[in-house]
Structure 1
Amino acid sequence: MNPQIVIFGANGFLGRYLARYYQRQGREVVCVARHRDGWSGDGMFLEWDGRTIGPWALALEGAEQVINLAGRSVNCRYDEKNRREIFDSRTDSTRVIGEAIAACKVPPKLWVNSSTATLYRHAEDRPQDEWTGEPGEGFSVEVARAWEEAFFAAPVPGATRKVALRTGIVLAYEDGSAFEVLRHLTRRGLGGRMGHGRQRVSWIHMDDFIAAIEFIAADPWRDGVYNLTAPEHPTNRELMKAFREQQGAPFGLPATRWMLEIGARAMKTETELILKSRWADPRRLREEGFRWRWPKLETALADLEGRHGLEGFFYQPDRRSAGVRVWTPGKKAAAGGR
């Protein structure tokens, strides 16, 4: 049997990409989610409620990796009901996974739990790394701290290594993702700075997000907290300029705070997702020798422009020794080169 990867929240944005990646690597993949909507179709699918032990727990026996990405989307209005669902969906799922691992006869070798770079304080003066970073205040920080506390407090066997991922904005050309929304606004002349534009943006290309998880998993001594971001941290003003240049937009109207408040209400989201400065420095990845494929924002955006959706992201041309490149369905075949 191939090493088993168990992904919780596998029908979400990150889960779909990880499931497809591991499936293409020839790994045995088990996808766990509350429902099949959004599932990529890769691996075996198991349902759970995110709160109680069920048949899914059997998949954890002897697993190579358990990756927990479960949690209600934060892209919503923070009313009392949504706040409770955001909070509980993260802490309850983490707690019950810990209980299931503790009951395993052969526990998983690695438990990776999602967290967020939003945990750090609103920073415009200096980067926040894993060793010296300071937690901030507010609802999002409370959620992040409770999430990590539930994770590290879970009494699992010593054979199971724990890693929490404080991830920045993951960029992939997926409908509804940050990349697609900012691209859409830019193409309509709305790609100017947001607020004062000085807020820092911690981001990472999907290729590097996946590669960083593999990098961490490869060394049995890597545990604790990792910031998963690119080494470059543009301001919002610089981010939107890069999008305008990529899309060939001659101008981009800026949006003041009050304009963003109106837009956020109309889109049923929160301005915090845009206005908070996130400057999470990936110090551990850098010092331990991780090499980013896409360290620069401009080249990352250019690459993603041609990789729309899950199929486009993982699309690879076949090569033949005769010098003829044959494209898989969805692209025109070209003989004798591109």
Structure 2
Amino acid sequence: MRVLITGGSGFVGQRLCLRLKEAGHRLLVVSRDPQAARSKLPESADVRRSVLDFIDTPPDAIVNLAGESIAARRWSDAQKHRLIESRVNVTRDLVMLCEQLKSTHGRAPRTMISGSAMGYYGDQSSREVTEQTPPHDEFAHRLCQRWEEVAREAAGFGTRVVLLRIGLVLDQGGGSLEKMLPPFRLGLGGRFGDGRQFMPWVHREDLVRSILFLLERGDLDGPFNASAPHPVTNAEFTRTLASQLKRPACLPVPAFVLETAFGEMARLLLTGADMRPARLLEAGFEFRFPTLELALADIFSRPR
């Protein structure tokens, strides 16, 4: 089938495009810089500048992974606006594409899988979190809620909408782990604050496999937590990562230091949710890397 991907040249998108190509699907990719994107994607990918450029090539399915990094800079009012708009604008264009294809071709794409994030739940302390857990109202929740609300509008045109609330994505070459590794390799890593906050995580390969699973399962819609079934606290993550690298991790970063450096954005590091992939497991999805030990062992066993 023809699959339209936003964010296709990103850390998750590149691996997804590779797996889609291997499965025989045709890739339609949106990128603000098509030339740069083509160098990172399978040769056959059709890369265009905007979502609506694909009105003449109707996709059968959509995977929406676009959005400015939430941790790129401090959360000023202007930055908060950019974070929301970078997600909402692309998602709104996808809904518009569904509307136009329904009007002109009589059929919108069958499926839209739209990325969201674990931030939807806000700070949940130590309680176990499933897709049914009420969120805690804070900026990260409001950002994800707005993003999801826009994506849901595609259902009005007959498109099955899946909302993927993604944990920290782990693998070589990018994502959260790439930022953590330098100090840990030097033996300068440590927990954040008291380390009790949960860090839902997922191996990039399992995340991509879950997207492929949800593309094929036409009976599934709504929110899905895309994280491994065994989340860990920040302290546990720190110990496990240090152990894999055979380095000490004895330099904790006090909460006040993070709050001084990052302001409100420090909540991403000091709070979390014990997020479980309840609906994926109920649907029969099997994780290849259910524990952090297995995930990191796989990641560090491959040549860099």
Give the superposition deviation at 1:69. 1.0
Q: Radius of gyration: which is bigger?
A: 1
Q: Does 1:288 align with 2:283?
A: yes
TM-score, normalised by the number of residues in structure 2: 0.91
Cα pair 1:191 1:241 within 8 Å, conserved: no
Match of 1:301 in 2: 296
Aligned length in residues: 295
Higher mean C-alpha displacement, 67-76 vs 197-206: 67-76
Residue of structure 1 equivalent to 2:186: 188
**Is the 8 Å Cα contact of residues 101 and 156 (structure 1) preserved in structure 2?**
no
User: How much identity, in percent, do the aligned residues show?
Assistant: 29
- SS of 2:182's equivalent? helix
Which residue pairs with 1:326 in the alignment?
none
Report 1 or 2 for greater relative contact order, CA contacts < 8 Å, sequence distance ≥ 6: 2
Tell me the amino acid that sits aligned with residue 82 of structure 2. E
| CA-to-aligned-CA distance 1:109-153 (integer Å, 9 cap, x gap) | 11111111111131223111112x111122111111111111113
Q: CA deviation at 1:190?
A: 2.3
User: Amino acid of the residue matched to residue 187 of structure 1?
Assistant: R
SS in 1 for 2:157: coil
The alignment partner of 2:89 has SS state of: helix
CA drift at 1:180: 1.6
8 Å CA contact 1:226, 1:284 repeated in 2: yes
Residue 103 of structure 1 aligns to a residue in which SS?
Answer: helix
Which residue pairs with 1:72 in the alignment? 68
Equivalence for 2:136: 136
Residues 3-18 of structure 1: pairs in structure 2 closer than 5 A:
3-18=1-16
Distance 1:32 1:260 in 2: 35
**2:198 paired residue number:** 200
Shift of 1:35: 1.9
* Superposed CA offset, 1:221-274 (max 9, x none): 111110101000110000000001000003431110123245548xxx932221
1:276 corresponds to which residue? 271
Return the alpha-carbon distance in structure 2 between the equivalents of residues 252 and 181 of structure 1.
Answer: 18
- Please state whether the residue corresponding to 1:253 is helix, strand or coil: coil
8 Å Cα contact 2:202-2:227 kept in structure 1: yes
One-letter amino acid of the structure 2 residue matched with residue 70 of structure 1: A
In the TM superposition, what are the counterparts of 1:110-125 in structure 2 within 5 Å? 110-125=111-126
One-letter identity of the residue aligned with 2:141? V
- For 1:289 and 1:4, the matched residues in 2 are separated by 25
The aligned counterpart of 1:166 is: 165
TM-superposed CA distance for 1:88, in Å, is 0.9
Q: Secondary structure at the match of 1:162?
A: strand
Alpha carbons 2:126, 2:274 under 8 Å: kept: no
Structure 1: gaps (5+ residues): 313-338
1:55 and 1:210 map into 2 onto residues whose CA distance is 25
C-alpha change, 1:16 and 1:99, in structure 2 (3 Å) is same
Q: Counterpart of 2:176?
A: 178
Distance in 2, matches of 1:136 and 1:34, equals 34
Structure 1 match to 2:146: 146
More helix as a share of residues: 2
2:70 pairs with 1:46: no
Rounded to whole Å, the distance in 2 between the matches of 1:68 and 1:142 is 18
Contact 1:199 1:276 in 2 (8 A): yes
The CA distance in 2 between the partners of 1:79 and 1:250, in whole Å, is 35
- Report matched runs for 1:179-258 at 5 Å: 179-258=177-256
TM-score for the superposition, normalised by structure 1: 0.82
Deviations 1:282-325 (A, max 9, x none): 110111211100001011001111346xxx6xxxxxxxxxxxxx
The verdict on how the C-alpha distance between 1:249 and 1:22 changes in structure 2, with shifts beyond 3 A counting, is same
Contact 2:184 2:242 in 1 (8 A): yes
CA distance in 2, matches of 1:12, 1:33: 10
Runs of 4 or more consecutive aligned structure 1 residues displaced over 6 Å after TM superposition: none
Q: Kindly state the Cα deviation for residue 155 of structure 1 after the two structures are TM-superposed.
A: 5.5
1:99 corresponding residue in structure 2 = 96
1:151 match: secondary structure: helix
Give the aligned residue type for 1:100: L
Q: Does 1:127 align with 2:128?
A: yes
Aligned equivalent of 1:316: none
The answer to whether the 8 A contact 1:10-1:16 is kept is yes
Q: Contact 2:9/2:41 (CA < 8 Å) preserved in 1?
A: no
Query: Matched residues in 1 for 2:224 and 2:23: separation?
Result: 24
